[in-house]
Amino acid sequence: MSANLSLTRLSPPLTWGDEQGAFLRSLRSPWYRLVAGLQDQVLSTTVEFARSRGLKGLYLPLTTRTITCPNGLGSDSEPVPVTVNEVDTYLPDSMQFALEYGMRLAPGGCYDIMPSFRGEQPDETHLNQYTHSEAEMPAASKS
């Protein structure tokens, strides 16, 4: 690494409204460029890791009729209800249980990179919307 490394603080340009010029400002924003690069890095690294271990990609629908939100300490999130095609359902808080189900379809292991949604206000320690890189793999057998 270079000894001349300088850190730059980037903040989102707050362009999610419909104010004049918001779309072009977001396209010119270094913050959005950084987020796009990070997302690409997470995707390519996850796929590289998964392929090196023979895991199968398992990308399922973004809705679930069951809730997996845990109620333990630090995990007090609420489900996010939505209606899709006149069916009441929920956005997933995690695809972990779908991957556990997927282990029956791909016994060598499976993975996904999916959005997670939690019905809570974000704070310094918790996001309410983010992308999850998750894998389920069989335990190594003891010889």
Would you state the pLDDT for residue 75? 54
Q: Which of 53, 55, 80 is nearest to 67 (CA)?
A: 80
Output the pLDDT for position 121.
86
pLDDT (tens digit, 9 = 90+) per residue, 29-55?
999 999 999 999 999 999 999 999 999
Place of tokens 């890791």: 49
Q: DSSP characters for 54-103? A: TPEE----S-BSS-----STT-----EEEEETTEEEEE-S-SHHHHHHHH
Question: pLDDT-derived band of residue 140, with 50, 70 and 90 as boundaries?
Answer: confident
Sign of CA dihedral 44, 50, 54, 58: negative
On whether the 22-136 domain is CATH 3.30.930.10, my answer is yes
DSSP string spanning 25-64? HHHH-HHHHHHHHHHHHHHHHHHHHHHHTTPEE----S-B
**Among 50, 13, 51, which Cα is nearest to 29's?**
13
In whole angstroms, give the CA distance from residue 137 to residue 52: 12
> What per-residue confidence (pLDDT) applies to 120?
83
Distant-in-sequence, close-in-space partners of 103: CB < 8 Å, separation ≥ 6: 109, 110, 136, 138
Per-residue confidence band for 10, with pLDDT thresholds at 50, 70 and 90? confident
Measured in Å, how far apart are the chain's first and last C-alpha atoms?
43
Residue 23: strand, helix, or coil: helix
The tens digit of pLDDT for each residue in 79-111 reads: 788 898 998 888 878 777 788 888 999 999 999
- Mean pLDDT (the chain) is 83
> What is the average per-residue pLDDT within 61-80?
64
Give me the pLDDT at residue 49, please.
Answer: 96
* Model-wide pTM > 0.85: no
Report d(CA 113, CA 131) in Å as an integer: 7
Q: What average pLDDT score do residues 6-33 get?
A: 83
